[in-house]
């Protein structure tokens, strides 16, 4: 039976999506310029249509460190969403405190085709200490072959780390990528999470179900289920012709066919990491 507005939605969380509209100020050095809008109303409608109680907004790289649009969306969603911001070492403690109140629970380092910042330098150590004090995590998006450049120093500094998009293994190597092997080795740390999201950034859409399943099973041999999460990656920037929200949901069912384990990935794991409690009406 379909849910009515008066019925609560069971806890189920999409941990990776973006919202933006045309006309926002964009950073000069960017890989992608959207020519469409991905509105909060559209995203909330998709959550409703697919039975998701909550979502997580990730600051798009092309908006840089101006998180104002995302923060406004978090406010409008009234607690239904959490956020992952993009910041630099110039951020002030007051700004961090305001973002925390708004629902931000982590920062993102999108390092695809970008150099790894000097994470062991004094400014970064100060920032990462502040992040850890807020109980936030650091989300890392970079090629699997380079994951060690960020994950190793972040763990050494006591950070909790979330690795994006299956760890971005080389499409030609897949789970044989040594960088993916490095990611598997981090399962014993207890402080690394992996997002099962955007498989089409690693493999052809026709192969996402099968190869994503192989990668998921490898990850589940190295990580407990409470360290893996699912994300839709809506609106599938640069890949809108290769995926949609329903397909992203279908892939999760192909990757994880055990209902209990899938519920852990969709509910218990992200709820604990992002501080989400209760159902949503």
The pLDDT of residue 31:
83
The pLDDT of residue 204:
94
Q: Mean pLDDT in runs of 10 for the chain (281 residues)? A: 56 97 92 93 98 97 97 97 98 97 98 96 98 98 98 98 98 97 97 98 96 98 97 95 94 96 96 86 47
Match domain 13-274 to its CATH number in 3.20.20.140, 3.40.50.2300, 1.10.3720.10, 1.10.760.10. 3.20.20.140
Q: How far apart are CA 138 and CA 150, in angstroms?
A: 10
Cite the beta strand spans of the chain per DSSP E. 13-17, 54-58, 81-85, 104-110, 137-141, 161-163, 192-196, 228-230
Q: How far apart are CA 167 and CA 13, in angstroms?
A: 20
Q: How far apart are CA 183 and CA 43, in angstroms?
A: 31
Phi, psi at 95, each rounded to 5°: -65, -40
The pLDDT of residue 279:
63
- The 3-state DSSP class for residue 115 equals coil
Which residue stretches of 116-263 are H helix?
Answer: 122-133, 147-156, 178-185, 208-222, 245-255, 259-263
- pTM of the full structure: 0.94
Spans of all domains in the chain: 13-274
Q: How far apart are CA 130 and CA 121, in angstroms?
A: 14
- The 3-state DSSP class for residue 102 equals helix
Q: How far apart are CA 269 and CA 257, in angstroms?
A: 17
């Amino acid at each position: 039976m379909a849910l009515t507005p008066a019925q609560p939605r069971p806890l189920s969380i999409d941990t990776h999506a973006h919202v933006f509209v045309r006309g926002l100020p964009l950073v000069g050095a960017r890989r992608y310029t959207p020519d469409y809008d991905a509105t909060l109303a559209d995203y909330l409608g998709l959550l409703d249509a697919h039975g998701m109680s909550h979502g997580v907004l990730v600051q798009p790289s092309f908006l840089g460190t101006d998180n104002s649009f995302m923060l406004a969306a978090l406010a409008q969603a009234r607690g239904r969403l959490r956020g992952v911001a993009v910041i630099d070492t110039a951020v002030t403690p007051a700004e961090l405190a305001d973002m925390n109140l708004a629902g931000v629970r982590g920062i993102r380092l999108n390092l695809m085709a970008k150099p790894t910042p000097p994470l062991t330098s004094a400014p970064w150590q100060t920032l990462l200490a502040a992040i850890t004090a807020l109980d936030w995590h650091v989300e890392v998006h970079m090629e699997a072959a380079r994951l060690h450049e960020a994950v190793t120093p972040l763990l050494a500094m006591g950070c909790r780390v979330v690795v994006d998009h299956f760890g971005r293994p080389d499409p030609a190597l897949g789970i044989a990528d040594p960088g993916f092997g490095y990611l598997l080795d981090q399962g014993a740390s207890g402080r690394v999470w992996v997002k099962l999201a955007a498989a089409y950034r690693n493999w052809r859409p026709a192969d996402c179900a099968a190869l994503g399943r192989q990668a998921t099973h490898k990850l589940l041999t190295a990580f407990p289920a409470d360290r893996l999460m699912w994300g839709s990656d809506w609106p599938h920037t640069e890949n809108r012709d290769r995926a949609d929200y329903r397909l992203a949901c279908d892939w999760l069912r192909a990757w994880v066919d055990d209902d209990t384990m899938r519920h852990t990935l969709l509910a218990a794991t992200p709820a604990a990491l992002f501080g989400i409690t209760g159902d949503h009406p």
